Amino acid sequence: MADFWTQFLQLLAKIVIPDWGTVIAVLPILLVLGVLGPVMTLLALGWAAAAVREHRGHARLASIEARSAARDVLGVPIVPPNVPYCARDALLFAPRETRCSVCGRDLQVRCPVDGTVRPAARQVCAACGTRFVLGELPALVAASPGGPPPGGAAAA
């Protein structure tokens, strides 16, 4: 019986304990496949995720980018109503912006009804009660009389 167990354990040892020579020979390959493979995969995924985040970030930045106000013949910036603007930099901003990205000052917005200028962060005109409505920007810009088209002054 004891002989049987000895043989059994020897057989077990052959199965369980691997051939170390072979293991050491393939160790670099195992390392590459087992460790570097997943690491490289994770790194690639991380890079891809970062690239996607960066791309989205750029798209978001582009949407809030300021644009230069057109100027009249005297060089005075033409500011359409309902558009947040920085008087110091003559920049027009997207409807949601309240702070100049260049100088950091509070933006101003002109009332489309009576022309009263108020901080862009304040949504209602103190003079007539007109609310600063987001999204009306394109129609108001198109309807602004007299002034050159956006970018026209710079091109001329």
Please report, as ranges, the residues that interact with Zn ion according to CB under 5 A.
86, 88-89, 100, 102-103, 111, 113-114, 116, 125, 127-128, 130
Rounded to a whole number of angstroms, the minimum distance from the CB of residue 113 to Zn ion is 4
Rounded to a whole number of angstroms, the minimum distance from the CB of residue 79 to Zn ion is 13
Residue 27 has a CB neighbour count (10 Å cut-off) of 12
Which residues share a beta bridge with 19? none
Q: How far apart are CA 105 and CA 101, in angstroms?
A: 8
Rounded to a whole number of angstroms, the minimum distance from the CB of residue 128 to Zn ion is 3
Q: How far is CA 5 from the centre of its chain?
A: 69
Would you say 54 or 65 has its CB closer to Zn ion? 65
Would you say 38 or 115 has its CB closer to Zn ion? 115
Rounded to a whole number of angstroms, the minimum distance from the CB of residue 82 to Zn ion is 10
Residue 117: strand, helix, or coil: strand
| DSSP secondary structure code for residue 67 in this structure | E
Would you say 56 or 131 has its CB closer to Zn ion? 131
Would you say 11 or 128 has its CB closer to Zn ion? 128
Q: How far apart are CA 150 and CA 128, in angstroms?
A: 28
